[in-house]
Amino acid sequence: MYQVILYYNFQPIEDPERFCKAHKKFCKEIGLMGRIYISEEGLNGTAAGTDQQIEEYKNYVWSLPGFDDTEFKQEESDYIPFPRLTCKVREEIVALHVDDVNPENGGKYLEPEDWRRVMEQEDDYVMIDVRNNYESKIGHFEGAIQPDVENFYDFPQWLQEADIPKNKKVLMYCTGGIRCEKFSVLMKEEGWEDVNQLHGGILRYAHEQGGKHFKGKCFVFDDRLVVPVNPQDLSPIARCEITGKPADTYINCANMECNKLFVCSEEGARQMEGCCTEECRQSEYKRPFDPENAFRPFRKWYNYFGEEFKEREVSAAK
């Protein structure tokens, strides 16, 4: 088994280039794989390795001045879901493209158990899924608004048009919490007062509250693409774009010129050889597609939770 970690820390870094160089050197030395971004505003990463590699890396991060409070979300995986190590300096560690957004002025943290309590005991709130449309499509909290945006930096524009009353209690969540750190600042600056964010995001909530009230699964930005959240309810909430049957597994179109990310069942993938359209299937840039390999990790969810991998009804809950 390997460990997959997800983490961020908004901690000003004076010389990102230098910080990045040292960081990359350390990661290479211990053989860590993943994607790490560094900017003047802090550190954001997702990485995978053996228990020992991950322990060493966490200790390294905690040893950096100002980073001793870094929180890691951690999951097990039976393979390393990254092809390489990327460690880069970027303008922002998560790109909202809005100046002067300081996470210190962000929304109030709701710990997973408080989040669940609010969902179970209150009803006068607006819940916003602060992720892209292809993420919320396959999984979201009950009752959440799912903005139809393709990038995080489209959220400011979406907010302008969303018509959310300023006196409403706002609950927001994302995968691991980093997007809420910025979007909650923006909402407060724009006049919403009671802004709350799920601390640690869906992934921590899944660990601590078993994914209760979450429908479908969670999109992740590594080779796994989709991970289960609620072991009590593995029903897909989306449909295969080829067969129209219930599915929530994503693949990238096997036509390398297209590479579109789309919801596709194993049956649909076999039928179209991993392509999103007949046109793509005919393309000379089609790479070999091995359904056995592509769907093995997905099939494992069901085995893991002691259920059979089979077609399921699309859950009616929205």
Which residues contact Zn ion (rule: CB under 5 A)?
Answer: 253, 255, 258, 260, 276, 280
Shortest Å, Cβ 237 to Zn ion:
23
How many angstroms separate the CA atoms of 72 and 54, rounded? Answer: 10
Q: Find out whether 50 and 2 touch, Cβ atoms under 8 Å.
A: yes
Based on the number of CB atoms within 10 Å of its own CB, is 284 exposed (0-12), middle (13-18) or buried (19 or more)?
Answer: exposed
Tell me the torsion sign for CA atoms 92, 95, 99, 102. negative
> At closest approach, how far in Å is the CB of 146 from Zn ion?
24
Helix or strand (DSSP H, E) at 237: none
Confirm whether 280 is a catalytic residue: no
Catalytic residue selected from 20, 27, 87, 174 = 174
Q: Which is nearer to Zn ion, 54 or 280 (CB)?
A: 280
- Closest to Zn ion by CB, 39 or 255: 255
Q: Rounded to the nearest 5 degrees, what angle is found at the Cα of 77, between the Cα atoms of 244 and 83?
A: 85
Closest residue by Cα to residue 274 from 298, 292, 248:
292
Nearer to Zn ion, 6 or 280 (CB): 280
Q: How far apart, in whole angstroms, are the C-alpha atoms of residue 142 and residue 147?
A: 14
Q: For residues 171-200, b (16+ Cβ closer than 10 Å) or e, as one string?
A: bbbbbbbbbbbbbbbbbbeeebebbbbbbb
Q: For Zn ion, give the closer residue by CB, 22 or 261.
A: 261
Q: Which is nearer to Zn ion, 178 or 253 (CB)?
A: 253
Pairing of strands 214-216, 125-129: unpaired
Nearer to Zn ion, 203 or 238 (CB): 238
Residue 286 is classified by DSSP as B
- CB of 298 vs Zn ion, minimal distance in Å: 20
CA Rg value for the chain: 20
Give min distance, CB of 148 to Zn ion, in A. 21
Q: Which of 311, 298, 310 has the alpha carbon at shortest distance from 246?
A: 311
What's the CA gap between 161 and 133, in Å, rounded? 16
The 195-198 sheet, strands edge to edge: 108-110, 195-198, 169-173, 125-129
CB of 170 to Zn ion, least distance (A): 37
β pairing state of 218-219 and 195-198 = unpaired
CB of 276 to Zn ion, least distance (A): 4
Q: What positions carry a catalytic annotation? A: 174
